[in-house]
Structure 1
């Protein structure tokens, strides 16, 4: 029995609306979930207009900047997705004069660029059991039909398969799994640099999260058992992730002395969630989706802080502490599936609404926003007083090390802010050797 591809009513109506507006040549992305038996397309969002002058003369052609614009849109939207929801692929409102060869060429370029852009912000990789396919959807301008195809991201040169797609309301509630996790990560850097390359230091922590154990509502359950088995309603399920320090073998280990120009500390408490569809979802799949959400949200917050500081050119000094943005969920689908956005402390609901309109082509209402979860986490924390002793201190001193260099430390700032996540950067100086 083959796979089933399901498109939700919201996505179907949205695509038909774009076609009725004669937005030929319009591209966009498809969001949803891939399960062992079915692929669900739950949301479609067109690419924002890049050229304010108007549509191009020949929509049958796409240049490098067009493809880069589509992939950047996909990257930005991927930040808004909770665990279990992915950028599934792309769609195109196909112009009447576009040939089959031209359409396939555009799809191949778009699908490859989008997957590459989204993958750059992942601290995890797909398992061998997961399907390597992505969806491409054609909406024909001169007829009512939509044609679904799949594209192999591991082997781009393989033929694009044509498939049948079923329509469904997808209004039934999805299973929600949630977790609260404390983050305390220290990343030493060889140079005094504060940029996105520093995020490579999160890889070790990511491996610990991926290998962590779990408890379901305080109890261990077999990973192959069905989540929510025996319950009539799909109630939110709390999962506790239990991670241990990485084990280091005493055999074949070598000491490495390396100069350290700066250190990044990521510390705080985060709230994560994942959505799963279907009545036979296994616990191991739910835990995997939730762990990926943990990794995604920490990486995204760190990257947003780096982007903010680099944009404003605020990097410098002996030490800095930066508040990472809060995560704000918004339920925008009848099934209760929520997307999210990240807002800095100086941003209000208006900025969030504008980003939903720009990135998802969706008119968000303030009452759809859920600010409660991470706001409560922040209120539960004990805020440090101005007179509190520094959490860590590097006392100024000079000392000869056998490796042949001298170092001088500088005092660190007081405790990092106890918000959803705080990122602190400490700079060291006067390295010789």
Structure 2
């Protein structure tokens, strides 16, 4: 359970001023912040309103009570039975898209509502369901935190109320518990960490669908999970110094992080013979990652946030590709023709390509990550397809993050020069160790039921080398003996 919540006072006061001047009786949006497991606190630094849905309807509204019940008795005072309606699915979708634009350690940590006390009390169940939907759409997977925050900005009377909302399967009114909330300077205490991470994964494409990962989407999800395991054991250098677990970071400026992955520390690597493998999937590129650390947190937390951000970034890019191809199955990025066993081309979405049925090499670039200045030196990010420009980033910043679009193009960072991509290659174009070839021959001979004669053994390269070495040695001894005899 979170012991305390600290909100960035400059941002929260500006949001309160905006809501006070507005005539809207209700508003719902996302809480953006950082959960610190070391301090058991949440640092909030922005409140992002959920935009109107595709039908231009607001994400929240006040439902008034039935007029017949309200006028049933004029002499008897009726309690205010107005309630809050929230488009839960739309708020969850907003959270899913916003979570892709956040960098290391920064998460969607809950929901805020601008509503009076009576409507809030009459809508507890809907509010808890909304918080749970947001948590499922934008999970915080790298920390053990089974709660999210619900922040009420009350205008009758004016005050801020913060509550912990349990994510248990059974949601009741008791799922909300009060939480200590105060305002302070959050962003000014953050330190910035930056990492350029290069990776290259090579996975076999097995024949006849013998692998449980057959479609492109499944294979790449598996590749990302393998890389997550590699990163879990990686050591880190920050500004050239090895990171210790509880070491604080007191220096200002941008700190450069370098991840050191142990050599051949992947227990999932298996040996395959040529008859089992039809090709190789190469998946690699360069990822730029940012993370922000509170001055009271240990420096190891920045490394954890960087590692989590790298995996989340890869997953987000893959999800974008899958989302786009599911919406528009005609966009196949030059690899959308699935070749079946009868060599008949069948149009399929990229995410559903079965790799072991492909008969030619194919490749697919991933969206590149770009960064826009956000709050007090922090960055938000977005992912652009090769054909897209930074104008897309501007639109997303205004629509999803409710921020002003950057007017100076030079402030937008595009550090990922090497495009992340996957590429399939024929097995015969890849260098295969001779060890596999020898075992393939031995396996083939066993399957054919043939043994080896002594003459066959003498014809093998290993035996020829031994005989040649013996003859050279014997000749050397004879020459030496002749020279020694002449000298005597």
2:4 aligned partner: 4
Q: Are the aligned partners of 1:305 and 1:322 in contact in 2 as well (CA < 8 Å)?
A: no
| 1:47 is aligned to 2:50 | yes
Structure 1 CA distance for aligned equivalents of residues 85 and 218 of structure 2? 30
From 132, 139, 142, give the equivalent of 1:112: 132
SS at match of 2:308: helix
1:300 aligned partner: 316
Q: Which aligned pairs between 1:10-409 and structure 2 lie closer than 5 A? A: 10-35=11-36, 36-50=39-53, 52=55, 54-55=57-58, 58=63, 60=83, 62=85, 66-95=87-116, 97-102=118-123, 104-119=124-139, 124-127=141-144, 131-153=145-167, 157=171, 159-172=175-188, 174-187=190-203, 190=211, 193-195=215-217, 198-228=220-250, 231=251, 234-244=252-262, 245-246=264-265, 248=267, 264-277=281-294, 279-313=295-329, 314=332, 315-316=336-337, 318-334=360-376, 336-367=377-408, 370-374=411-415, 377-378=417-418, 392-395=425-428
Structure 2 CA distance for aligned equivalents of residues 269 and 174 of structure 1? 25
1:157-192 Cα deviation digits (max 9, x unpaired):
553122342222435252111211112124556475
Q: Are the aligned partners of 2:224 and 2:311 in contact in 1 as well (CA < 8 Å)?
A: no
Farther-moved stretch of structure 1 (35-44 vs 287-296):
35-44
Structure 2 CA distance for aligned equivalents of residues 365 and 40 of structure 1? 25
Q: 1:146 to 1:51 in 2, by over 3 A?
A: farther
RMSD: 3.6
Structure 1 CA distance for aligned equivalents of residues 248 and 227 of structure 2? 29
Structure 1 CA distance for aligned equivalents of residues 142 and 130 of structure 2? 21
SS at match of 1:92: strand
1:428 aligned partner: none
TM-score, length of structure 2 as denominator length: 0.67
Q: 1:249 to 1:94 in 2, by over 3 A?
A: closer
Structure 1 CA distance for aligned equivalents of residues 243 and 323 of structure 2? 41
Greater Rg over alpha carbons, structure = 2
Kindly indicate whether structure 1 or structure 2 has the higher relative contact order, using CA contacts under 8 Å at least 6 residues apart. Answer: 1
1:234-258 Cα deviation digits (max 9, x unpaired):
12111211112335499xx998999
Q: Are the aligned partners of 1:214 and 1:220 in contact in 2 as well (CA < 8 Å)?
A: yes
Q: Are the aligned partners of 1:83 and 1:292 in contact in 2 as well (CA < 8 Å)?
A: yes
TM-score, length of structure 1 as denominator length: 0.75
1:15 is displaced (CA, Å) by 4.3
Farther-moved stretch of structure 1 (298-307 vs 197-206):
197-206
Q: 1:126 to 1:154 in 2, by over 3 A?
A: farther
1:219 is displaced (CA, Å) by 2.2
1:298-324 Cα deviation digits (max 9, x unpaired):
111222233334434212254432222
Q: 1:319 to 1:22 in 2, by over 3 A?
A: farther
1:420 aligned partner: none
Aligned residues: 373
Structure 1 CA distance for aligned equivalents of residues 201 and 167 of structure 2? 33
1:66-123 Cα deviation digits (max 9, x unpaired):
2121111101101111111111100112256515142x2122101111111112xx7x
Structure 1 CA distance for aligned equivalents of residues 323 and 199 of structure 2? 21
1:326-355 Cα deviation digits (max 9, x unpaired):
211122212x12111112232223221111
Runs ≥4 residues deviating over 6 A: 253-263, 399-402
